[in-house]
Every structure is written in C-alpha cells, then in structure tokens.
Amino acid sequence: MADLVLFHHALGLTSGITGFADMLRRAGHTVHTPDLFEGHTFDTLEQGMGYVEQIGFREVIERGVRSVEDLPVELVYAGFSVGVLPAQKLAQTRPGARGALLYYACVPVSEFGPAWPHGVPVQVHGMDADPFFAGEGDIDAARALVASADQAELFLYPGDQHYFADDTLTSYVPEAAALLVDRTLTFLQR
C-alpha cells in the first residue's frame, strides 16, 4: 500500500479533504493531510484565494515542503487545486518520490526543474471546461507534462466544475468523482 501526502485546496483542510483522505485510508493507504493554512478554512474559492494571495503562493509551497521534513522520502504527493503546487514541487525535487496525483491543476514542469523526473508516475485530473483548469492554462501544462514524461496520464472529465470530486460542495459531480477515485486507487495499487 502507498504512503502519501494529500495537500488541500484553497478552502483549507475541510471535511471534504479529510473525507477523501479517509476513503484512501479505508483502501489501506497511509495518508498525511498537512494543514497549509494553519487552521483557516473558507466558504468560497474567492475567500480562500484571497488568503493564498495574502500569504503568498511561495509560502504555500514552502509550508508544504516543511510539512514533509519528518516523513519518509518514499511518498506519493497529491494535491487538490492550490495544493498541487507543493505536491508537484515535491514530486519533481524531493528524491524518493513514488508518484504524483494532481487534481484540478498543473503548472509547467519548468516551475520546479528542467524536466519531470524519470520513473516518477503522475496523473493529472481536471474538467475540460473548468474555467480555472482549462481556462488558465493548466490543461496546457498537463498536456506538456504528459508529452514529456515517461509515465504520465491526463484524465479530462466533461464539465465546468473546479472542485468536482469534493462531495461536501455543490460543485460535486458524482460520475466524474467516482472515475477520479477509481483511477486514483488503481494508480496507488501499482
């Protein structure tokens, strides 16, 4: 079974994130859920992103990096939306990474290094009409990652919701979420 770190989205470490982590735990995986927002949670994406802008994207990333200092190096790094930033950085730069699961976001590989590390599998999940994922360039970064990495998959789901796999939010899309969970569990079993 996998040992993974799951970084939360811009709403903070909410019950939707801990519920997703608990589902992975029930499947036999060890899941660490660091709180990048130090207890702050938000009701809207706008409020959460306001907090991210206040503390800075680099600080979010560095909080993620600090959160794994005492964990084993052989980890799968997973992140939802803004949580993709520390997950992707750690998967690309921390020796021993076992894989990456990037939900709702992807940044160009060049943000954290010259190339995706050989032998580190990655999945990227997003909706094809999500105004953030598809509209702000993440989908292009994901396609470039898949084209350049040796073990990479991009899964596009029909729809325009950003937090589509969080069953505590109105943006939840059950069919797409079920596929995301199935693909995640298959990835973690490898």
pLDDT of residue 190: 87
Structure tokens at 83: 């949580």
Q: Distance between CA 66 and CA 148 in Å, rounded? A: 28
List, for residues 88-102, the tens digit of each pLDDT value.
Answer: 999 999 999 999 999
- Alpha-carbon torsion 62, 188, 101, 9, what sign? negative
In CATH, what number is assigned to the domain containing residue 53?
3.40.50.1820
Q: How many CB atoms lie within 10 A of CB 154?
A: 17
Number of domains in the chain: 1
Task: Report the predicted TM-score, pTM, of the whole model to 2 decimal places.
Answer: 0.97
Q: In 112-173, which ranges are continuous DSSP H helix? A: 138-148
Is the pLDDT at 29 greater than 90? The verdict is yes
List, for residues 122-149, the tens digit of each pLDDT value.
Answer: 999 999 999 999 999 999 999 999 999 9
List, for residues 153-170, the tens digit of each pLDDT value.
Answer: 999 999 999 999 999 999
**Contact at 8 Å (CB) between 177 and 159?**
no
Structure tokens at 16: 């939707």
Return the residue matching tokens 């990652």.
145
Q: Where in the sequence is the domain holding 92, given as residue range(s)?
A: 3-189
Is the pLDDT at 31 greater than 90? The verdict is yes
Which residues fall within 8 angstroms of residue 49, CB to CB, at 6 or more apart? Answer: 10, 82
Q: How many CB atoms lie within 10 A of CB 182?
A: 10
